[in-house]
Structure 1
Amino acid sequence: GNDELDEFEQRMFRLDLSDPRANVIFGRRLERVRAGGDEERFIRLVRRLLAHRPVNHEAWGELGRLHERRGEYDEAWFCYDQAQAHFPQVPLRDRFRDRITQAMDRAGQQWSAPDQDAREQFLSKMQTLALKVSPPEIQPVTEDGVEEETVGDDEQELTRLLDTGEAAAAFFLARRLVTRGESWASEWLERASAQLQDDSG
């Protein structure tokens, strides 16, 4: 019943789901949640799983199709974008864009991909979901006690995330920075992707 599903959901939010076997073990259970009609819970839980295993392009594609079927086109685009980022040989995002643009044109409407702010928000949420433990609250302080932005905070955070085995969180942070136009973060995106690939092997 619902109590069992609530317990399952709580367990998924406590566990480190970065082990590749988690996709198999929890994937089957998530399909039962979806088959049971609890799409909202399914979406929450699949996002949690994908936050830890973002290289699972098939799951991104499935989630994108669900959002598309529900008319949640921006959410679908985010999922297809992630799928295509990890498996560019299958251009799910590009196909979706063509499909939705044609459908909207026929209906006399327009659709455009989510803007940069929306993309950054999505990637930031995924980064937070990807963290295995809560990040430490570190505020840079000057000698007079006033907070100060330090150059390289993002790079330091990327280093910390990769050094502590938080490759998925580093991936989403680097992707967000690249989306923002920070070309220097491309190298970090590649490093995080490589670490994710190594972890899945």
Structure 2
Amino acid sequence: MGESLSQRLQHPRRSLGDRHRSQAEKFLRLSNQGEGEFSVNIQWAEQNARQALLHDFTHPENWRMLAKIKVLLADDIGIRALLSDLFAVLGRDPEYVSQLEDVSLLDVGSELLNAALQNDHLDSDIWIQSFDASDVDSFVERFLKLDLSDPRCNVLFGRRLERLWDIAGSDVCIHLGKVLLSHRPQNYEMWTNLGRAHERMGDYDQAWLCYDQAQSYAGHLTVRDDFKERMESHFDGNSSVAWSRPEISVRKDFLVTMEKLSTRFSDSVIDTGASNEEVHVDQSGDERRLENMLKNGDFSSAFFLSRRLVTSGEMWAKEYLEASKLALEGKDDVIIP
């Protein structure tokens, strides 16, 4: 079975990225040496550089290679688009590039790109080495303002959050993890991390809910089933009450919380009630809201609302659940400038 787009994004193929970058370097060298037609060689170089970046957006050399080729092609529009794309991945405002519309990026584009890569490293292991405990508050403040719907940005900040756990602690990181997932619920890697954190804390209902989300999105995982086995083994003979998965009301409350978080950047107005306990099922009203969410591109909100309704036994919402999942998967289709 082939990997889904979300699975490929979660695990960048460094070997394929390196291979395509090597090919790009070869064709770039041929074009500079005047061997063969320049236009043919440079086109092959650009095509391979794009493939390298598509397979592995976490390697800074893949960004630098494509930028170098665009400068050689005098592609001012292309270097602007590439810089905007990098800013989106790093969680920066791409509008910063538009402020340079009167400046030729053929002259300074590579310099700006290099500065961004050096100051905000794409490798999370390198990034965390320069992180200080005093930076936690500023990181949280920045994190909560980000639009993390870009799939690569979502994966990148998920990896950073994973490295930050020992410094910032579970209280901070669990909340930020849920914010991250409210933008892109198919990030099964973060669901798994949240499940483990809740399990360590003894919050088994929340752990199961997170593992369930992870396994629902990534069928190759068995984290929910493994957790169930651990819990049954733990309770077997140690308690008069056998462990059971969370009640429907707990699952609904969990999904309402995620639904509310997902509306932070939403254009759709969603009223989930004054409190989690006051959520009522109104098929006509909920169906209109789901249609409105999908129409406005608020796929995460539609996902959590429809899943809550299905959990409540409203099977008519299953159609909307599948539609929102397909739409979210479609947003993972990355186009390299």
Fold shared per TM-score above 0.5? yes
Describe the SS at the equivalent of 1:152: helix
Residue equivalent to 1:136: 269
Q: 1:103 to 1:161 in 2, by over 3 A?
A: same
Find out whether 1:113 has 2:245 as its counterpart. Answer: yes
Q: CA RMSD in A?
A: 2.1
Aligned partner of 1:145 in structure 2 is none
Relative to structure 1, the CA distance from residue 151 to residue 160 in structure 2 (aligned partners, 3 Å threshold; closer, same or farther) is same
Q: Which of residues 233, 249, 255 is equivalent to 1:123?
A: 255
Q: Deviations over 1:121-162 (max 9, x none)?
A: 000100111121475377xxxxxxxxxx97511111111111
Counterpart in 2 of 1:182? 314
Match of 1:30 in 2: 161
What residue number does 2:52 align with? none
Partner of 1:51: 182
Matched residues in 2 for 1:53 and 1:157: separation? Answer: 19
Q: Provide structure 1 residue ranges, at least 5 long, that are not aligned to the other structure.
A: 139-148
Alpha-carbon shift at residue 185 of structure 1 (Å): 0.5
1:41 and 2:160 are equivalent in the alignment: no
Q: How does 1:154-193 map to 2 (within 5 A)?
A: 154-193=286-325
| Aligned residue in 2 for 1:143 | none
The structure-2 alpha-carbon separation of the partners of 1:90 and 1:46, relative to structure 1 and needing over 3 Å to count, comes to same
- Structure 1 counterpart of 2:148, one-letter code: L
Offset of residue 19 of structure 1: 0.7
Alignment gaps of 5+ in structure 2:
1-131, 272-280
> 1:36: Cα distance to partner?
1.0
Larger RCO (CA under 8 A, 6+ residues apart): 1
Q: Structure 1, residues 142-185: CA drift from partner, whole Å, max 9, x if none?
A: xxxxxxx9751111111111111111111000000000001111
Q: Which amino acid aligns with 1:191?
A: A
Q: Which residue of 2 aligns with 1:146?
A: none
Query: Could you tell me how far apart the structure 1 residues matched to 2:152 and 2:190 are?
Result: 14
Partners of 1:35 and 1:3 in 2: how far apart? 14
Contact 1:33 1:39 in 2 (8 A): no
Counterpart Cα distance in 1 of 2:266 and 2:235 = 42
Over the matched positions of the two proteins, sequence identity in percent amounts to 42
CA displacement 1:78-97 (0-9 Å, x = unmatched): 10110111112323212211
Asked if 1:98 is matched to 2:234, the reply is: no
Moved more, 35-44 or 129-138: 129-138
How does the TM-score come out when normalised to structure 2? 0.53
- State the Cα distance separating 1:37 from its structure 2 match: 4.7
Structure 2 distance, partners of 1:84, 1:137, is 27
Structure 1 150/97 Cα, relative in aligned 2: closer, same or farther at 3 Å? closer
